[in-house]
Structures are given as structure tokens and as C-alpha cells.
A and B are shown apart, each in its own frame.
Chain A
């Protein structure tokens, strides 16, 4: 098999070499197309990963909570009477998941679930001197919660620890209140007639990746939150982290049918983000498709011209005994060679563009806005598709060449 298509390879490469400028131009064209596709793909992949990391870095993949309170519909009266009703939606009060302690091991056993954390959330105020800031109170078991959002990795000052009377707050909230690690702040919640107040010592400051989250997050031990919100022994939600974030919606739907709770995936909680990501993916796909179509048309047009230019040579080859299949393969190979060389150069060019982006597109801190890399599988995929496009582009010219009437071609 060493000499498979030896004749076709030999003639195809000679034809391309003979084409010089023509061949060079189309290879540069393919390389530019592949570079754009590789760069755009890597950029969008990096951007999406960055966005997802920032978004999901501070929230669970799936959240399970009690169903919302709803107004029970009035009974329809029988007979000829007409009932005119006007209902007001019920205010949603904090409610604990019934028997959540039994539910935790059950959820941990579900395939695909990496961690489960009982959480109790409520609203309140953080107080320091005359300053008071509206906060979102999150009561957690630190070890479990850390597996959901990686809280320990987000600590920028102090040491993450949640003993009774201790708390972790966001960076911007600390700035607003003028506190540092080790200082105390007061907490007030509106539960009960007179409200409840408590104080806690700050053990760590965290950066959750979003300024608004940093401005209102106060993480306290679960028991502290239970007393502050007025739900002794309760947990308002169970937060789940999954091994595969994209299975969240499927799992949420499945759990919602099996369990009498409200189950929400991160996609549902961030529907606008998901729409934006989908729009980005679609746009990337469209750009890739358009560029590939341009690549195909470019290669095809050059090969069509080549077939016309080489008509006489094709006629001679046919007269010498070249089969239609051999002539067909000569031109398919030319498409493949142009596609492959252009792809290889394009991937190198794409890596160069990505390098330039990483060096030039910097944030305020002088670091790259986000990390983009062209992973080998993506590079191979782009190069493979472009090479395949080269072959596809060559199909029509190759068929035309193979069907040339040798007698007519020689007379040209």
C-alpha cells in the first residue's frame, strides 16, 4: 500500500507547484479562514467558560426548595349562579424544607450529584456604627457549602471559618462598612414582631466574582441563620453541585417529577445568560459556516480554473491510459493538499492571534481579560473540517476534469 495513489499524488503536487501564485494565494486564503475560525472558536469558548465560571462560582447547579405558596382556587358553584373572584398572589415567606435532613443523603446518592449543601437564606441588615447595609444572609455548613461554590478558594483576606458567632462577608460589603478581618458587625433581621439582632466576628473576606454579590453577601453558620430568620432547625433550600453542569436541567426536571419540591437548575435561574450563551454559540456557528463556505468557494474556484488550464494535460493523461478515477483523484487530492496545508498554517496563525489577544486585551489590573487557549481537539477539529472542505470543494472540478472528453481536450 506504500504506493497507493502514487501517480495521483505525484501529478497533484506537480500541478499545485506549477500553479505557484495561484496555489499560494488559495493556501493563504484557507489559512486566513482557518485562523479566523480557530480564533473565534477559542475566543467564544474562553468567554463562555469565563462567564460560566463567574456565574456558577457563586451559585449551585441545582437548587431544591419548598414549592411557592399559592392561593387555592375557589370552588365553582353548581347551578346558575356566577362566582366573580379576584385573587391576590400570596406573599412568599421563608419556609423550611420539611425533613431536609433525610433528603440530603437521598440526593447525594443520585448519580451525577457531586455535593449537597443545606442552606438557609434570608434578608437583613448589616450594622456598623451608623452605617446599615441591606444584606443577603446565607446560613451554611461551611464544609458542604465550600463544595458547592468553592468558598475557601475565594477568600482574599483572613481564614474561612464559621464557628458560632463568626461570619464571612463580601469584599465590597467590608469596604462599605469599613471593617476588616477580626472586626465585629451587627446583624438585624425583620423576623418576628420586634426583629432579631445578633453580632458576628468577621473571619474572612471573599470575592465571589460579582461586585453586587460581594456587596450583600454575609455567610454565617446554619444555626445562626436559623435563629436570625426564625426557622429553628430549618433549611430553605438544598443546593446541589453536579459533575456535569450541562446535565443540570435534565436532573432538575427528573427530580421535580420525583420529589414534591420546587427544583430549579442554574439554566432556569439564569435564563438570560443561557440565552446569551446560546446566541453566542449560534453566532459562532454561523461565522464558522460562512467562513468555511468562503473557503470551499475559494478552493473550488481555483480548481475550476486549474481544470480549464490543464485541459490539455488531462487529455494527454487520459490518452496515456489514466482512468477517470485517477483524474478525479488528482483533483480531489489537490483540494485535500491545499486544505491541509492551509489548515496547518491557519492553526499556527490562530495561535498567534490568540497570543496577541492575551498580550493586548488586558484588564485594569494588567492581567488578560480572560484566558483563551486553542485546545488540541478544537485545533484538530477545525483543521480536519477545513481539509474536508478542501476535498468537498474539489468534488465538482474533479468530476468535471474526469468527464473531459480526451479527444476534445487534446485538440484545445
Chain B
């Protein structure tokens, strides 16, 4: 299987056990298998404790599976050491977290240029332009010089989205990015993600508790007790139109 024809990510029989061999051993993922293709916008839903965040961490190479196979663009990740996983993460993945997780000492623009600085050791004028352009496309051209503390929750989350997208990753992993926002801000942030998805053809795997947002994704994977309960495409009719409907 070559990289061009391989799914973006492919998980086969993924198990995750915490505290293996100890009295408090707990298996939280029980043999999950699914794929995500390039350009898909996938919602990962399920009740608390169903294993969503653990699965997202495994997909994001932040922690390893206990067993099973996980391939990114055809490459088996189990064989990668920490440095290899880091480089793979840097090249392929972008992250958006529930609590924004911007670096408070850096301005919005500096937060967005950090990935380039991390990769190259410097920020070229082109990369600076790129960061400004992404910030503009998420509607934050006026806030580039502000620090996270000076921004609203929704604005901070849009900075986080800009940061996740600036190096043009193939897959953005978003862990309840709207979970900490009011409905209006949540819709704005979701709209930004959909817009960037459409513009950049980047895939999204979005963990959410909000069934209305899940219904506006292309596909929904539902986890219950560490097992995939449902994995189906969202039909267009069930995809109601956004902001106004939810703003009330």
C-alpha cells in the first residue's frame, strides 16, 4: 500500500489498558478499528468515560496503544520511538484542546508562529505572512498583538485553531474545542473549523459532547464503554443549518 492510496489514518484492533498487571488494571479501549480518509470531517462522540480522549491521544501519538496497529499515511507508528513520533506529529497533526492551551506569555501571532519557530529555529517573512493570513481567516486580524489573557474564550480557541493549521497539517485533532464556550462562541468556532476544512481540505477528528455539532459533521463515530457503537455518515437532511438555529 503506497502513501498516496493509503487512508490518512488507519486503526486496527486498538486496545488500551491502564495499570496493566496491577489490581486496578482497567481496559478502556476494546479493539477499535476504523479509518479516516483525507478531507473527512469526523465527529467522535460518546458519554464521559467512554474513551474518547484516550483514543484522541493515541491518534495524536501522545500515548501509545497497548496492542493493535495504528498507521498514519500507511506508516506503522508502533515502531516509532519518541523522536520519530514527535516528527510525525509535527508533520501530520494539529491539535486544538478544550481549554485553548495557548502559551500565555506569547501574543496571538507569536502563538501561531511557534510551530514554525519550533521547526526552523526562526520565523521567515513568508511564515509570518502565512500566520497573519491564517489569523485573518479565523477573523482575528485585529487581535494579533494581544496576549491570550486579553482575548475571549472563543477568540482564544480561534487562535488555537490558527496555530493548529498554520503548518498545514493533514489532520486536526480537536478535543472538545467548544466544550468550554457559550453556544454563540461554540458555533463561531465550529463554523471557523468547517470553513478552514473546506478551504484547506484538511481532515478533522472532533471530540464533542454536543449532538447538534456532531450532526453538522460529515461522519459520526460514537464510542460507548470503549467500543464503537456507531460509525456512520451524516445524511445531508440531518445536517441542519448552523449559527442561527443554535444561537437562540
Binding site for B on A (CB under 8 A): 2-7, 10-11, 14-15, 17-18, 312-313, 315-326, 405-407, 410-411
The contact of B101 among A312, A405, A407, by CB within 8 Å, is: A312
Residue of B nearest to A321 (CB): B90
Minimum CB–CB distance from B1 to chain A (whole Å) comes to 26
The contact of B89 among A2, A4, A319, A405, by CB within 8 Å, is: A319
Considering the chains assembled together, what is the distance between the CA atoms of A18 and B95 in angstroms? 24
When the two chains form their complex, are residues B97 and A4 in contact, meaning their CB atoms are under 8 A apart?
Answer: no
When the two chains form their complex, are residues B118 and A326 in contact, meaning their CB atoms are under 8 A apart?
Answer: yes
Told that A3-B121, A5-B121, A321-B115 touch, could you supply 15 new A-B pairs with CB distance under 8 A? Answer: A3-B120, A3-B122, A7-B117, A17-B105, A313-B103, A317-B118, A319-B95, A320-B95, A320-B114, A320-B118, A321-B86, A321-B119, A322-B118, A323-B83, A324-B86
Which residues of chain A are within 8 angstroms of B86 by Cβ–Cβ distance?
318, 321-324
The contact of B62 among A17, A312, A319, by CB within 8 Å, is: A319
19 A-B interface contacts by CB (under 8 A): A3-B120, A3-B121, A6-B117, A6-B120, A7-B114, A10-B117, A15-B105, A18-B104, A316-B95, A316-B97, A319-B89, A320-B95, A321-B89, A321-B115, A323-B83, A323-B87, A325-B83, A326-B118, A405-B63
Which residues of chain A are within 8 angstroms of B122 by Cβ–Cβ distance?
2-3, 6
When the two chains form their complex, are residues B118 and A321 in contact, meaning their CB atoms are under 8 A apart?
Answer: yes
Q: Is there a chain A Cβ closer than 8 Å to B57's Cβ?
A: yes
Q: Is there a chain A Cβ closer than 8 Å to B163's Cβ?
A: yes
Q: Is there a chain A Cβ closer than 8 Å to B13's Cβ?
A: no
When the two chains form their complex, are residues B62 and A14 in contact, meaning their CB atoms are under 8 A apart?
Answer: no
Which residues of chain A are within 8 angstroms of B91 by Cβ–Cβ distance?
321
Name A's interface SS: helix
When the two chains form their complex, are residues B97 and A324 in contact, meaning their CB atoms are under 8 A apart?
Answer: no
Which residues of chain B are within 8 angstroms of A10 by Cβ–Cβ distance?
117
Binding site for A on B (CB under 8 A): 53, 57, 60, 62-63, 82-83, 86-87, 89-91, 95, 97, 101, 103-106, 114-115, 117-122, 163
Considering the chains assembled together, what is the distance between the CA atoms of A410 and B83 in angstroms? 19
Which residues of chain B are within 8 angstroms of A319 by Cβ–Cβ distance?
60, 62, 89, 95
When the two chains form their complex, are residues B63 and A14 in contact, meaning their CB atoms are under 8 A apart?
Answer: no
The contact of A410 among B62, B106, B121, B163, by CB within 8 Å, is: B62
Asked if A316 meets B62 with Cβ closer than 8 Å, knowing A3-B121, A321-B87, the reply is no
Minimum CB–CB distance from B139 to chain A (whole Å) comes to 22
Q: Which of B60, B82, B105 has the most CB of A within 10 A?
A: B105
Minimum CB–CB distance from B173 to chain A (whole Å) comes to 9
Name B's interface SS: helix
Minimum CB–CB distance from B46 to chain A (whole Å) comes to 17
Considering the chains assembled together, what is the distance between the CA atoms of A260 and B33 in angstroms? 96
Minimum CB–CB distance from A11 to chain B (whole Å) comes to 8
Minimum CB–CB distance from A319 to chain B (whole Å) comes to 5
Minimum CB–CB distance from A285 to chain B (whole Å) comes to 40
Considering the chains assembled together, what is the distance between the CA atoms of A73 and B203 in angstroms? 105
Considering the chains assembled together, what is the distance between the CA atoms of A17 and B103 in angstroms? 13
Asked if A320 meets B117 with Cβ closer than 8 Å, knowing A6-B122, A312-B101, the reply is no
When the two chains form their complex, are residues A14 and B106 in contact, meaning their CB atoms are under 8 A apart?
Answer: yes
Considering the chains assembled together, what is the distance between the CA atoms of A178 and B53 in angstroms? 101
Residue of A nearest to B94 (CB): A320
Q: Which of A317, A320, A405, A411 has the most CB of B within 10 A?
A: A320
Residue of A nearest to B88 (CB): A321
Which residues of chain A are within 8 angstroms of B60 by Cβ–Cβ distance?
319
The contact of B105 among A4, A18, A323, by CB within 8 Å, is: A18
When the two chains form their complex, are residues B97 and A410 in contact, meaning their CB atoms are under 8 A apart?
Answer: yes
Which residues of chain B are within 8 angstroms of A2 by Cβ–Cβ distance?
122
Considering the chains assembled together, what is the distance between the CA atoms of A322 and B117 in angstroms? 10
Which residues of chain A are within 8 angstroms of B117 by Cβ–Cβ distance?
6-7, 10
Considering the chains assembled together, what is the distance between the CA atoms of A3 and B57 in angstroms? 32
Which residues of chain B are within 8 angstroms of A321 by Cβ–Cβ distance?
86-87, 89-91, 115, 118-119
Q: Which of B63, B115, B119, B121 has the most CB of A within 10 A?
A: B121
When the two chains form their complex, are residues B63 and A407 in contact, meaning their CB atoms are under 8 A apart?
Answer: yes
The contact of B57 among A325, A326, A407, by CB within 8 Å, is: A407
Asked if A410 meets B63 with Cβ closer than 8 Å, knowing A323-B83, A324-B82, the reply is no
Which residues of chain A are within 8 angstroms of B118 by Cβ–Cβ distance?
7, 317, 320-322, 326
Considering the chains assembled together, what is the distance between the CA atoms of A15 and B30 in angstroms? 41
When the two chains form their complex, are residues A410 and B101 in contact, meaning their CB atoms are under 8 A apart?
Answer: yes
Considering the chains assembled together, what is the distance between the CA atoms of A319 and B106 in angstroms? 17
Considering the chains assembled together, what is the distance between the CA atoms of A319 and B118 in angstroms? 12
When the two chains form their complex, are residues A4 and B121 in contact, meaning their CB atoms are under 8 A apart?
Answer: yes
Considering the chains assembled together, what is the distance between the CA atoms of A332 and B69 in angstroms? 37
Minimum CB–CB distance from B37 to chain A (whole Å) comes to 23
Which residues of chain B are within 8 angstroms of A324 by Cβ–Cβ distance?
82-83, 86
The contact of A406 among B62, B114, B115, B163, by CB within 8 Å, is: B62
Minimum CB–CB distance from B242 to chain A (whole Å) comes to 28
